[in-house]
Amino acid sequence: MIKITDILGLLNEGFKTHYYKDIKTYKVCELVKQSEESIPRPATYDGRGNYTFIQDDTNGLIIYHRIIDQLENEEDLELGFGRNSQTKETYTVKSVFFGQQPAIEDDNIEDINYYLAKEFKKLMPRTLDLADTNRIVVTGIEYNKEVVKEEEGVEYVPESILFSINSTITITGIEQCNTLTCN
């Protein structure tokens, strides 16, 4: 069965088709404090309690995803085939975009956050090619720098790009069960 990290990888591939230069993408990130007094920063989990912090490149756009909540995890024994039941998982995901405005060469854009949020929202598919039952629903866009700053632990820098796209991702699949384990 496909996993949420696979879906986020597909989203990242779609985001990389945008004309913006130097897009760096990450899949799942968590907010981690480097010290007691520091604000939380996005970091990828390396295993064994270790994290690698996402660095702010000065000339690119960084995209990372946070799983805010797993809304439901259902198993339907009536659907599927044989011992392999159908499962349905629903997640609330926040995709955060930040970077530096000078990488955009169009001086006619007044609010770069609003403009790019609309552009990247168009790149999010409603359904995924893997199955007709996998769905992505965009539930909102936040391009207010202060809202994202407080929630995401990203420090605001003048002329920076900072917005997020909130979505609900539903994954439906068939669990492949052997005699003792399910994959």
What is the pLDDT confidence band of residue 109, given thresholds at 50, 70 and 90? Answer: low
Least confident residue range of 27-36, 65-74, 113-122, 174-183? 174-183
What is the structure's pLDDT at 65? 94
Please determine, looking at this structure, whether the domain spanning 4-27+59-174 carries the CATH number 3.30.2000.10: yes
The H or E element that residue 8 is part of is helix 4-15
10 or 37, higher pLDDT? 10
Give the per-residue pLDDT at 40. Answer: 85
Q: Which of 35-44, 45-54, 131-140 has the lowest mean pLDDT?
A: 131-140
3-state secondary structure of 25: strand
Kindly state the tokens that stand for 145.
Answer: 């720098």
Torsion, Cα 69 56 141 65, to 10 degrees, reads: -30
Chain mean position to CA 103: 22
Whether 58 has a pLDDT exceeding 70, the answer reads no
Provide the whole-model pTM.
0.81
Average pLDDT over residues 38-55: 87
pLDDT over threshold 80, residue 21? no
Mean pLDDT of 78-92: 67
pLDDT in tens, 125-150: 766 655 556 778 888 888 877 777 77
pLDDT of residue 64: 93
- Return the minimum-mean-pLDDT range out of 28-32, 83-87, 138-142: 83-87
Per DSSP, the residues of 41-95 read EEEEEEETTEEEEPP--TTSEEEEEEEEEEEEEEEEEEEEETTEEEEEEEEEEEE
- β-sheet with 50-53: strand ranges across: 30-32, 41-47, 50-53
Residue 75 to residues 92, 131, 134, 181, Cα–Cα distance (Å): 19, 17, 15, 15
Domain ranges within the chain, ordered by starting residue: 4-27+59-174
pLDDT given for residue 95 in this prediction: 92
Count of beta carbons in the 10 Å neighbourhood of residue 143? 20
User: What integer is the mean pLDDT of 29-41?
Assistant: 84
Burial of residue 129 (number of CB atoms within 10 Å: 0-12, 13-18, 19+)? exposed
Sign (positive or negative) of CA dihedral 177, 85, 11, 40 = negative
How far apart CA 90 and CA 163 sit, in angstroms, is 23
State the Cα–Cα distance between residues 97 and 164, nearest whole angstrom.
Answer: 6
